[in-house]
Amino acid sequence: MTSIENQQKELESIFLSGALKAVNLFQVNDKYFHLPEKGLWIIDGGIELVFPGGTCCVGWSTDYESFVFEKVAFDFIYLHDNFVQFDPQSIPSLSQLVGHNVLSANFKSIDVESVLDYTMRTETEKKFVEMVLEFDNHSHLQIGAVTYSLEKNEFPKDLIIELHGELLVSTQEIIEIGDVND
């Protein structure tokens, strides 16, 4: 089994361990995008999902300088103290998922080439870029690393997968995220 397959199994084990206990959303900059009526955010920071079997976080990794999908809390991934946690009352479409069970988890990954050392040797490995959780109350949670186009006074559009971009969090609809090679 590959590393990403192991990671997926570990995350799925957490998701299927029982009802979601908490959702925490973190932001590291003053500016972010939020469409409350659509349950949609584009943030710099991360989201932490707490289940009986552990914690899953999709967040900005200080070490990797990209978004990562890990089974640890946000402050283990983001090693600075300049983040703010959203008040749960300010994120009602996320908070309404608390107490519900995940029925399924779907992941999307891409191949990423990394420089291994000073000789500039590279290695290609799969990294998660998106996941969609389906809950027992027929709701879902989509989390993906994205970049986008932006026009004045508009919400971001033309979203494309990008581990070094920002984080999309959606609770009311599955947002189409294009592939960088499309």
| 86: nearest Cα among 140, 144, 147, 28 | 28
Residue 7 has pLDDT above 60, yes or no: yes
Question: Is residue 116 domain-resident?
Answer: yes
Domains contained in the chain, number: 1
Q: Tell me, yes or no, whether 179 lies in a domain.
A: no
| Percent of the chain clearing pLDDT 70 (strictly above) | 97
pLDDT at 49 over 80: yes
Distance CA 94, CA 119 (A): 45
Residue 175 lies in a domain: no
Integer-rounded Cα radius of gyration of the chain: 16
Q: Is residue 36 part of a domain?
A: yes
Domain assignment present for residue 135? The answer is: yes
Question: Is 138 within the bounds of a domain?
Answer: yes
pLDDT in tens, 134-178: 999 999 999 999 999 888 877 888 999 999 999 999 999 999 998
Average pLDDT of span 2-15: 94
Q: Kindly state the tokens that stand for 13.
A: 């084990």
Pairing of strands 166-170, 140-149: antiparallel
In a domain, residue 141? The reply is yes
Kindly state whether residue 181 falls inside one of the protein's structural domains.
no
Q: Which domain holds residue 56?
A: 3-170
